[in-house]
Structure 1
Amino acid sequence: MKLKLVRISKIALAAALLCAPIAAVATSSNIISAKTAANKKTPYHYSTKAWTKKLAKAGYSFKLPNAAKGALYKPNGKPYGKKSLKKIVKSNTLFKAKKVRLIHNNVFVDLVSKNGKFKGYTSYINGIYNKNLDNPKLQPLIEAELGVMTAKVNQNPTADLLGQAQNEAAKLTGKEKKIADLSLKQLKEFVEYGTVAETPVLLIGRYPGSVVEK
């Protein structure tokens, strides 16, 4: 799987940063009113504490998608150097999420590497991706789940698409089946609440914008 940075649409990014349903956000000029209206209909399901717990349970499952400047910041706010970032990406260093933080309507995640050599923070939206996105056995499920999320965002029916995702999950065995079952549970939360916090952990890096490419 090749890695790349992609441009996230203003609609997706604004909705993600505000943790509001994407379909409710039309333009940057009505972000506040859209968030307020959305919250009246759909209460925000995850607090930052619960969101942190959700990501932390995934363990050392996250990678940096690139070695661009600012891809990872140290706890003191200084960015890691190019040499360190290249080493992190080249060696496929795995990270665990320690804390989700909302700062000025931006979503950041604190990370620590499995080898203990690197820790700091990056953007949740385009700064990390789930290592299991590289698993070829999970690709049909991943695409099916993204189809459900797209339908939800576009306010289209999701029942049939969710059924397709469940069928793909039923074909899996072993560790992939375990990953699939958890992802489906989280997908159903997204269908109900529709905010970025309900994104299945498996799909981090593919939603709301993709930082990976097959």
Structure 2
Amino acid sequence: MKKTIRLVLTVLLILTTLSVTNLTNKNIVSAHAVSSEKLQDKVWTKKLAKAGYVFELPNSKKGALYKNTAAKGGKSYSKKILKRILKQHTLFKVRKLTRVKNGISVDLISKNGKYKGYTTYVNGIYNKNLLNQNLQPLINAELSTMDAKDNNKPTAALLEQAQTLATALTGKDKQIADTSIKQLKCFLKHDDLSETPVLLIGKYPSDLLVN
């Protein structure tokens, strides 16, 4: 009888130990995932912030600017103010990017410091350099390369074409192009939205400049 009790207790101890170990491992994996996501957000934020005041709101229908923060249930600026922001081509800088349940929240501040709040990365802002005529061939070449990647098609020749176009540019345009090519290579390697070249924000993954 005593042997039976000891056996039962031993089995229960083993099962309890395995259960606790399994739960601990799951918690470690979960904590690691959250930590990695926060780290990625910081890297993403740094990249966008480094670009400076180059972002504009596309229009009051496709994008809006909300006051306060998403966590506080921010209220949108009025349509009148949004129209003024659009008409004046007010430039914004990214202060912080955060993943939220339904998407990505981007904290912005205008160059004149008058407007600040948050919007969404995917359809809330676009890079003003997308309208630079000198950069159009490069922009189209980079988009073609990314589309090929999305469709599991070869990208080497398309990337080479984009690099050739970047090399032909001069001055500030070349600086923008060289940075974009470097970021494009990271996108091709990692295939992650956070690796999208800053130049193409507003064109990829969706085109905000098409009416």
Q: Does the CA-based 8 Å contact 2:63-2:125 persist in structure 1? A: no
Q: Comparing both structures, which one devotes a greater share of its residues to helix?
A: 2
1:68 deviates by 2.9
- Structure 2: which amino acid aligns with 1:79? S
- Structure 1: which amino acid aligns with 2:45? T
3-state SS of paired residue (1:112): strand
Q: For residue 138 of structure 2, what is the aligned residue in structure 1?
A: 141
Number of paired residues? 171
Distance 2:63 2:75 in 1: 9
Distance 1:105 1:193 in 2: 23
Q: For residue 201 of structure 2, what is the aligned residue in structure 1?
A: 204
Distance 2:209 2:106 in 1: 18
Alpha-carbon deviations, 1:117-138, whole Å to 9, x = none?
0000001001000000010000
1:108 deviates by 1.3
Q: Does the CA-based 8 Å contact 2:63-2:124 persist in structure 1? A: no
Deviating more after overlay: 129-138 vs 100-109: 100-109
Distance 1:188 1:104 in 2: 29
Superposed CA RMSD in Å reads: 1.7
Alpha-carbon deviations, 1:163-204, whole Å to 9, x = none?
000011011000000000000000000000011100000000
Alpha-carbon deviations, 1:85-105, whole Å to 9, x = none?
000000000000000010104
Distance 1:88 1:109 in 2: 17
Please, what TM-score do these two structures have when normalized by structure 1? 0.77
Distance 1:92 1:146 in 2: 24
Q: For residue 188 of structure 1, what is the aligned residue in structure 2?
A: 185
- Structure 1: which amino acid aligns with 2:53? Y
Q: Does 1:151 align with 2:151?
A: no
Structure 2: gaps spanning 5 or more residues: 1-35
- Structure 2: which amino acid aligns with 1:54? K
1:70 deviates by 6.1
Q: For residue 17 of structure 2, what is the aligned residue in structure 1?
A: none
Q: For residue 58 of structure 1, what is the aligned residue in structure 2?
A: 51
3-state SS of paired residue (2:122): coil
Q: For residue 41 of structure 2, what is the aligned residue in structure 1?
A: 48
